[in-house]
Amino acid sequence: MSETTPGIEAWKEHTSAFDRVQSIASTVSQPRPASYIADEAHVAENTARKHLKRLVDLNVLLKSERKGTTLYSPDPLHTRMQTLRDLLDQYDRDELIELKAELQSRIEAWRDEYGVDSPTDLRGRAADTETAAQTRDLRSTASDWELVRYRLSIVEDAIENYTTYNQDFRASA
């Protein structure tokens, strides 16, 4: 927490400790200990632990143990539902169908360009490249493909359940 830049100071001034801890913990790519999250969120470790416990209780984060250390990571179910809610807030049904077509087009383009059917197959090809740049390109594209495939699954869920997910229960109350 020794790093003090204007951006960090503004973040600390305008964002609560809880929100900073949630922001960091919800975006880690691998499980992290409270000390890491505290450092990144610019809070004391005890403060981070208190907020991390609350986030676990709220099913926003998962808690695991590795070699005696407690680690925290985003709950994939919470992340998926939040992404689904964001899509439904941003797009109507027709726009979701258009987004589905765009995502499908990207996947089809990768299949045609690389002559493989999946990101796993593309990663397999990365083992046989001649240059570091080719290897990096194939691995990066495979990662992008996985992300697009995941997003497509959420878009399809939003389309399939659009009416159910968008019911306004407040109108009947």
Query: pLDDT tens across 27-62, in order?
Result: 999 999 999 999 999 999 999 999 999 999 999 999
Judged against a pLDDT cut of 80, whether residue 113 lies above it is answered with: yes
* pLDDT bucket at 172, cuts 50 / 70 / 90: very low
DSSP assigned state of 68: T
pLDDT at 173: 42
CA torsion through residues 107, 112, 116, 119, sign: negative
End-to-end Cα spacing for the chain: 48
* The token pair that represents 87 in the structure block: 């899509």
pTM metric for this prediction: 0.77
Is the confidence at residue 150, as pLDDT, over 70?
Answer: yes
Pick the CATH number of 6-74 from 1.10.10.10, 1.10.940.10, 2.70.98.50, 3.30.1280.10: 1.10.10.10
Asked if the model's pLDDT at residue 93 lies above 70, the reply is: yes
152 pLDDT higher than 70: yes
pLDDT of residue 169: 46
For residue 61, give the 3-state DSSP assignment.
strand
Give the pair of three-digit tokens for residue 127.
Answer: 């083992």
Mean pLDDT of 134-162: 96
State how beta strands 32-33 and 69-74 pair.
Answer: antiparallel
Percent pLDDT > 70 in the chain is 94
For the segment 10-30, the average pLDDT, to the nearest whole number, is 93
- Selection from 150, 147, 165, 155 nearest residue 97 by Cα: 155
User: In degrees to the nearest 10, what's the CA dihedral of 168, 169, 171, 173?
Assistant: -170
The arithmetic mean of pLDDT across residues 151-172, rounded, is: 82
What residue spans of 58-171 are helical by DSSP H?
76-90, 93-114, 119-126, 132-160, 162-165
Quote the mean pLDDT of the chain: 92
